[in-house]
Copies of this chain bind each other. A is one copy, B any other.
């Protein structure tokens, strides 16, 4: 069943059918005839033929490092509903933390396949910039800042700053479990937030109070152990993510520390984990789902307005959530 047959059955030209499909000028009478035939036959236009002619795919490529993550799946959820609402389909490419795959997918989306790309990246190399520059479709960077591109990101600095400022009131020897500074957002910005908040509270963050973790609980537990060994009298541990905090919490409890009485602990991200640990984790809500929504909106803008579109940077609010893992917090 194709447009020619529909045209024949409805007694019109195929151009008229096409106009009907693309809301052009069609008389009410023929509109009705066409509508009826399409309903009867269950005709659906071939999207590949449409794409071939019109260069519009209605696909948006979304590249993510992994899917099984609280923060990422929330962002994808926001993207997904916003795209669907605008008639787009989501082509989800998952790199499983392989940076090279990120480039492969970008190249795959290049010139082809998609009307736009949302890249939820973590680390940007020179190679990334090169491929990004060569991309002919609009792109939005999500969860990281990248100069020269429209991007949506959390206020990582302020999340860490606010959290640390709050804790500086109740802790005196404050340590930090962070991640690699190659990650500008979670790595660099959160560390900067912690550091500056301490400075502003007339405290410092000596190097031996800082440990670098991976993004998982095991690493959080291991680094908490290392930190405690080096600085036995530490009384507060701030973690770059809730997952790291959950791991650290697990270790500290197993080491016989009372949380928050002996050591208080906090994370960032307001993940579902933070409500389930005992004590529940003081953390910072980062509006991940809204970030996904906003990224999709920015992309629509770029797609619709082409060259005329204004590049935008959206930094989202954050909200401190005080729970049982810090002194003065309340257990769920």
Contact = CB atoms under 8 A, between A and B. Distances in A.
Contact of A277 (B49, B92, B101, B277): B277
B250 A332 contact: yes
Interface string A84-117: 1000011111101000010000001011110000
Interface string A56-78: 01010000001111100110110
Given A44-B112, A74-B68, A113-B47, A89 B89 contact: no
A278 interface: yes
Contacts of A272: 217, 273
A276 interface: yes
Interface residues of A, number: 45
Given A48-B48, A275-B217, A77 B94 contact: yes
Contacts of A67: 67, 73, 76-77, 80
Interface in A193-228: 217
A52 interface: yes
Interface in A272-309: 272-273, 275-278
A93 B90 contact: yes
B91 A89 contact: yes
A80 B65 CA distance: 12
Contacts of A273: 272-273, 276
A46 interface: yes
A273 B68 CA distance: 13
A176 to B, nearest CB: 21
Given A89-B93, A332-B250, A77 B73 contact: no
A13 interface: no
A170 interface: no
B89 A94 contact: no
Interface in A242-257: 246, 250, 253
Contact of A92 (B90, B217, B278): B90
A91, A92, A112, A278, most chain B CB atoms within 10 A: A92
B91 A84 contact: no
Nearest to A61: B89
Interface of A: 44, 46-49, 51-52, 57, 59, 66-70, 73-74, 76-77, 80-81, 84, 89-94, 96, 101, 108, 110-113, 217, 246, 250, 253, 272-273, 275-278, 332
29 contacts: A46-B52, A46-B112, A47-B112, A48-B48, A48-B49, A48-B52, A49-B52, A59-B91, A67-B67, A67-B73, A67-B77, A68-B74, A68-B77, A73-B73, A81-B94, A84-B94, A84-B101, A89-B91, A89-B93, A89-B113, A90-B93, A90-B94, A91-B91, A92-B92, A217-B272, A246-B276, A273-B276, A276-B276, A277-B277
